[in-house]
């Protein structure tokens, strides 16, 4: 215990996490009658709230969103299952990508034709893919949450001075009171990201799985550090900026799965514009304030550099995703100029990203479908 205490004291040194001449006792709850400081012990609340969030998601998806999806004609049936084959199953579990060398070897080993191996492989891969209805439900839940979070964030921040002038994030720091509405904003937001982190392992697997895992981890770390260090003002601004575009991203995916292609393209265009405005316009303004204006108002300390580095890391992710989003938008426009707009089916959509903080799937990638089919064989 003594070793643990020593390590804890060293890690939470006031020289690292607080401005000069400030101690943990100075920002402890109740240390000042006129200031309500954030309590680090409250960070435990998002964990049980995440369980509540997962249960709420289950209820909303099963009893509300799924019936709506079915009424829209969204498919909920799974494809035909592959015939059980122990040898092929073992090979599939080791590597689900089929190569020509594997086809020849498995065909010889199982006394089957190569075409039979390829067919079995396609059916087996199709078994692992979620139904269109499942994907529709996932996107609907996230769309509803982001809509709620953004509206709630705008309402509670509209009367806060730092919402209109970011420099107020630094005035009087670290003795800044936290109101009940900001407390709930933080707790609900963190519970959502904890729930996303937990459910990511059971949800639809996407190619940017680890990118999104890092994104959720950085977001939770940012929120936790901003809470402990009483930096909730700038934290609340980061939250509200991130939620806006994600509403339209999830809505675009929903309309794609419901086969409303024109509406999907329109919403995706709106999403692209809002993404650029918020993630590459408003968000860099926050980073400018934390990087340039804050040092003019506050004495610097190590935690400031940690916090600011994490903010910059998120910006780099935004820039990378923006490049991919613009590629998708360009390809969609290019396909839209064709006489016949050939789109990939919902079951073949590349789930290349996701957001609340991620890139959208491509609404148009039909020119690669035939090539992809050949690669699978």
Domains defined for the chain, CATH in brackets: 27-73+132-376 (no CATH), 86-128 (1.10.10)
Query: Distance between CA atoms of 303 and 14, rounded to whole angstroms?
Result: 10
pLDDT of residue 167: 95
Output b/e per residue, 167-198; b: 16+ Cβ within 10 A: ebbbeebbebebeebbbebbbbbbbbbbbbbb
Q: What is the tally of helices (H) and strands (E) in the chain? A: 17, 0
User: Can you state the angle between helices 232-257 and 209-228, rounded to 10 degrees?
Assistant: 150
- pLDDT on residue 208: 64
For residue 87, the model assigns a pLDDT of 79
- The pLDDT, as a whole number, for residue 97 is 74
Low-confidence ranges of the chain (pLDDT < 70): 1, 78-79, 96, 128, 204-209, 336-377
Q: What is the pLDDT of residue 339?
A: 33
Whole-structure pTM value: 0.78
Write the pLDDT tens digit of every residue in 161-204: 999 999 999 999 999 999 999 999 999 999 999 998 888 777 76
Structure tokens at 308: 């600011």
CA pair distance 92, 106, nearest whole angstrom: 11
Q: Which helix (H) or strand (E) holds 106?
A: helix 100-110
Q: Give the pLDDT confidence score for residue 39 in this predicted structure.
A: 93
CA distance 288 to 309: 12
């Amino acid at each position: 215990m003594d070793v643990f205490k020593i390590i804890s004291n060293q890690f939470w040194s006031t020289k690292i996490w607080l401005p000069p001449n400030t101690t943990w006792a100075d920002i402890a709850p109740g240390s000042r009658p006129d200031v309500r400081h954030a309590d680090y012990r409250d960070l435990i609340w998002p964990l049980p709230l995440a369980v509540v969030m997962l249960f709420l998601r289950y209820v909303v998806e099963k009893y509300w969103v799924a019936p709506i999806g079915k009424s829209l004609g969204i498919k909920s049936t799974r494809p035909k299952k592959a015939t059980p084959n122990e040898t092929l199953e073992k090979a599939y579990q080791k590597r689900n990508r089929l190569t020509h060398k594997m086809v020849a070897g498995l065909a010889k080993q199982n006394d089957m034709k190569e075409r039979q191996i390829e067919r079995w492989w396609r059916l087996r891969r199709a078994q692992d893919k979620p139904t269109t209805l499942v994907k529709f439900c996932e996107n609907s839940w996230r769309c509803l949450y982001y809509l709620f979070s953004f509206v709630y964030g705008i309402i509670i921040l509209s009367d806060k001075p730092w919402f209109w002038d970011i420099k107020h994030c630094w005035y009087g720091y670290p003795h800044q009171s936290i109101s009940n509405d900001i407390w709930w904003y933080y707790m609900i937001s963190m519970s959502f990201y904890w729930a996303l982190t937990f459910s990511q392992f059971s949800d639809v697997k996407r190619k940017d799985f680890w990118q999104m895992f890092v994104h959720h981890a950085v977001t939770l770390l940012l929120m936790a550090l901003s809470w402990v260090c009483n930096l909730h003002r700038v934290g609340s601004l980061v939250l509200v900026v991130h939620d806006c575009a994600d509403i339209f991203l999830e809505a675009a995916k929903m309309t794609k799965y419901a086969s409303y292609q024109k509406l999907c393209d329109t919403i995706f265009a709106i999403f692209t514009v809002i993404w650029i405005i918020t993630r590459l316009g408003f968000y860099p303004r926050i980073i400018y304030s934390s990087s340039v204006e804050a040092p003019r108002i506050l004495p610097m300390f190590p935690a400031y550099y940690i916090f600011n580095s994490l903010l910059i890391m998120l910006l780099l992710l935004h820039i990378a995703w923006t490049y991919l989003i613009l590629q998708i938008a360009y390809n969609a426009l290019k396909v839209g100029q064709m006489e016949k707009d050939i789109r990939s089916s919902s079951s073949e959509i590349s789930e290349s990203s996701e957001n609340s903080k991620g890139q959208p799937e491509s609404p148009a990638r039909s020119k690669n479908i035939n090539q992809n089919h050949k690669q699978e064989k």
